[in-house]
Structure 1
Amino acid sequence: MSRRIALLINPSSGRGQGMRIAAEAVPRLRDAGHEVEDLRGRDADEARDLVHDCVERGIDTVAVVGGDGMVHVAIQALAGSGTRLGLLPAGTGNDVARYLDVPRGDTAAAVDVVIGGRERTIDLARAGATYFLTVLAAGFDAVVNERANRMRRPRGQMRYNLATLAELRTLRPIDYVLELDGEEQRLAATVVAVGNGPSFGGGLRITEGAELDDGLLDVVVIEPLSRRELVRTYPKLFRGTHVHHPGYHHHRVRSVTVAAAGITAYADGERIGPLPLTVDVVPAALRVLVGR
């Protein structure tokens, strides 16, 4: 059966990889009998408007050619609609692709997931008026992101590395007030993260165990760490074994308010805004195409 598919392309994803993937995907989708539209927004606002238009016109699937940031743009319009999210990974982190079992680095296999049409309905999280799919970072990692965004150079991963080193030199506990389903906690921590899914930042499994369709958020708190402890704990995040750290705490809630002075939160790798923020789960908010 023919379906209408819109490709939302981020031309800059993967240093131009997005354009190459789109060029390979379009004929493959058309050969499978699909009608394909090419969408390219000049910025995030225009890209979101293009997706809104797809929803209003009843397009079956918006397939994002990009990474988690471009998915973040798309879900602002797709949330609660009947239009499905497909994904052709072209970013650097690609945590959403990991969630959905979409092959990374194999365009033909990723296109086959879209063609196959295997569907799942998942939750989203909402911070204020902004939806996110992966993790909201509101601790040391958010502080590093904020510093990196203020730096003009160098470009790429090295800027993030330098920002991390700079923040390590001044590492200190952050004082938080958390409200977990109405129960208030006052505490000091190095990391506070709110997960709809289990990972962010290219496979850092900070909210290990989070499920996309359980109607709950996973809130992780890691008590104050020394510089040495933080550096030693970081590699464990890729395996999810940080859960054994004595300062690790995990809560499952429907709503959480996170407050801390001077902290700006990030979600899906995008700047969300300063704390305090209230995050709610939005159950069954998004239809997605999955590999299995």
Structure 2
Amino acid sequence: MIDEVALLVNPRSGQGGGAATAVRALRFLRAAGVSVRVLVGRDATEAQALAHRAVAAGTGALVACGGDGIVNLALQAVAGTGTPFAVIPSGTGNDHARMLGVPRHDPIAAARVLLDGVARPIDLGRAGDRWFGTVFAGGFDAKVTERTNRLRWPRGKLRYNLALVAELAALRPLHYELELDGERVSTSGVLVAVGNGASYGGGMRVCPGAVPDDGLFDVTVLGAVPLARLVRLLPRIYPGTHVARPEVTTYRARRVRLSAPDVVGYADGERFAPLPLVCECVPRAATALVPS
């Protein structure tokens, strides 16, 4: 059991339910005898600074309460340190919680991991000077997320679905130049995903074979397919059966250089940087608290 933690909260996650989730977890942990310091930033920059200060001050664990975005902020602070992190999910995607086996619909069960869970060393991806835990998206998927973030209405999954329809209407294959541990691949496609974990977008198993402690990325490349075939293929991504289709090629690599025109890369649902970009898998870069 860890007796002192910093709770990094995004109160706006889960369409505003993040604050209520944090309160439930906070009451449970304090009742169990855990000293909890609550960190709430006015924006992502301040939240990031609070997380770094908590780790530098020697907190027993950094606990991210919210969606995958706040977990990504926590990873920037704990990567390469001895400070473990935990997840109390309250977002719309919660793919870090999926990856780590943390209960996604019960904040008390998620918080209980701090009392009786175990420490698990995991790999992280590094793209430029930023870390990610789940999947780096560099194609049609990233364009959907970029459009989703520009929309102000509707909220939640409906906003994503609207962006998806708009990007499908504008779909054009991209020319990709990949370098996978030194091996060069030139191809045309609509999607390249670099997975430290299996899923993104709320359970879409785009890299279904990826596990976050094997020292390698799983890379999924969806080739240049007509719109009608893509629409039929997209539902297969949720269970991960798309990788059996001839339109899909998969690779495994520790270092991936990804280049394509007019694409901004996203990871953990967060905007990273325009391509080209190098993703490197860093073994055992962080320690996660997970159910025993």
TM-score, normalization by structure 2:
0.96
Correspondences of 1:23-102 after superposition (within 5 Å): 23-102=23-102
Aligned to 1:114: 114
Contact 1:255 1:278 in 2 (8 A): yes
User: Which amino acid is the alignment partner of residue 33 of structure 2?
Assistant: G
Aligned to 1:104: 104
Contact 2:142 2:265 in 1 (8 A): yes
1:285 aligned onto 2:288: no
Q: Please state whether the residue corresponding to 1:190 is helix, strand or coil.
A: strand
Distance 2:265 2:166 in 1: 19
Aligned to 2:130: 130
**Identity rate, percent:** 50
Q: CA RMSD, aligned part only?
A: 1.3
User: Which amino acid is the alignment partner of residue 110 of structure 1?
Assistant: A
Structure 2 unaligned segments of length 5 or more: list them.
none
CA-to-aligned-CA distance 1:104-124 (integer Å, 9 cap, x gap) = 111221111121131101000
Aligned to 1:171: 171
Contact 1:2 1:33 in 2 (8 A): no
1:256 aligned onto 2:256: yes
The range that moved more, 258-267 or 222-231, is 222-231
Shift of the alpha carbon at 1:33? 2.0
CA-to-aligned-CA distance 1:149-174 (integer Å, 9 cap, x gap) = 33343443333222222221222211
TM-score, normalization by structure 1:
0.96
Shift of the alpha carbon at 1:213? 0.5
Shift of the alpha carbon at 1:97? 0.7
User: Which amino acid is the alignment partner of residue 94 of structure 2?
Assistant: N
- Count of residue correspondences: 292
Distance 2:141 2:225 in 1: 13
Aligned to 2:186: 186
1:271 aligned onto 2:271: yes
Aligned to 2:161: 161
Shift of the alpha carbon at 1:289? 0.7
CA-to-aligned-CA distance 1:19-65 (integer Å, 9 cap, x gap) = 11221122221222211111111111111111111111110111111
Shift of the alpha carbon at 1:269? 0.4
Shift of the alpha carbon at 1:2? 5.5
Distance 2:43 2:170 in 1: 35
Taking a change above 3 Å as real, the CA distance of residues 18 and 151 of structure 1, as seen in their structure-2 partners, is closer
Distance 1:145 1:202 in 2: 12
Distance 1:153 1:21 in 2: 24
Shift of the alpha carbon at 1:4? 1.1
Distance 2:113 2:63 in 1: 11
Taking a change above 3 Å as real, the CA distance of residues 35 and 152 of structure 1, as seen in their structure-2 partners, is closer
Distance 1:165 1:16 in 2: 25
Distance 2:29 2:157 in 1: 33
1:198 aligned onto 2:198: yes
